[in-house]
Amino acid sequence: MAKYLYVEIAEALNEDVRAGIYGVHQKLPSETDLAAQFATTRLTIRKAIDLLEKQQVVVRDRNRGTYVLATEGKISSGASGLVGFTEAAKELHLDASTRVLDLRRAIVYPDYVASKLQLNEQEPVWQIERIRMADNEPMTHEQIYLKQRILPNLTAHEAQGSLYRLIEQEMPIGYAQQELEAVILEPGLSELLETTPGQPAFLAHTVAYSMDGYPIFYDNSHYRADKYTFHNILSRKH
């Protein structure tokens, strides 16, 4: 499925930021100049900038313009907007890898999963359990429920890579809603994450949606608190 033009423009500008074409705290060109550069309208550019702002790549001042945000050089969920583990690790020049513990088609699942994904009765989903690693060190344990009709022929080999990339070959991911808890790791998870029982962790409950608000997958992930941070930028309206 083709991406919306404003999404492609936002991705191009984000790549320019990563490549250093636009440095930290540097002001982006005006909407008019960007519209000329990408041969489109100011409205499309405005939507692209809105997306970059939601992804915390830039910050916009109504009177002064749009500026590139500073980021910290560590694994931080949310620091670069809605990106998957593979993308976040790549930004930090870490080698991302995955150990798939389970991949199965399921028509029986918890009620909260059916509610979050707006599933019909016995609608099939992929139930995926994975360990995500950076430089061969376990970072997070994922328990994912993905609507099967989005990736009807998902294989264990494909599940070792970026699910975001696979999904976005079918439809663009627009945004996600996330709830975060502080928890203590139980012995089973501690062993999988190669840490000692009783260590603190983050438990993130995430629902990812398409651009038009269609729920795609639900994810319960445990993140090692000694290796991960969660990053939000809050701005006041003026």
| HEC profile of the chain | CCCCHHHHHHHHHHHHHHCCCCCCCCECCCHHHHHHHCCCCHHHHHHHHHHHHHCCCEEEECCCEEEECCCCCCCEEEECECCCHHHHHHHCCCCEEEEEEEEEEECCCCHHHHHHHCCCCCCCEEEEEEEEEECCEEEEEEEEEEECCCCCCCCHHHHCCCHHHHHCCCCCEEEEEEEEEEEECCHHHHHHCCCCCCCEEEEEEEEEEECCCCEEEEEEEEEECCCCEECCCCCCCC
Give the residue among 85, 95, 90, 165 at the shortest CA–CA distance from 131: 85
How far apart CA 176 and CA 213 sit, in angstroms, is 9
How far apart CA 103 and CA 218 sit, in angstroms, is 15
- pLDDT, tens only, 90-110: 665 677 889 999 999 999 999
How far apart CA 132 and CA 85 sit, in angstroms, is 8
Q: What are residue 67's phi and psi, to 5 degrees? A: -125, 150
Q: What are residue 124's phi and psi, to 5 degrees? A: -75, 145
CATH 3.40.1410.10 maps onto the chain at: 77-229
Q: What pLDDT, on a 0 to 100 scale, did the predictor assign at position 43?
A: 95
Of all residues in the chain, the percent with pLDDT exceeding 90 is 51
Q: Which fold has domain 5-68?
A: Arc Repressor Mutant, subunit A (1.10.10)
pLDDT bin (cut points 50, 70, 90) of residue 219 is very high
- pLDDT, tens only, 172-202: 888 888 888 999 999 999 999 999 888 899 9
Q: Is 146 exposed, middle or buried (0-12, 13-18, 19+ CB in 10 A)?
A: buried
**pTM for the complete prediction?**
0.64
CATH architecture, domain defined by 77-229: 3-Layer(aba) Sandwich (3.40)
Amino acid at 216: I
CATH 1.10.10.10 maps onto the chain at: 5-68
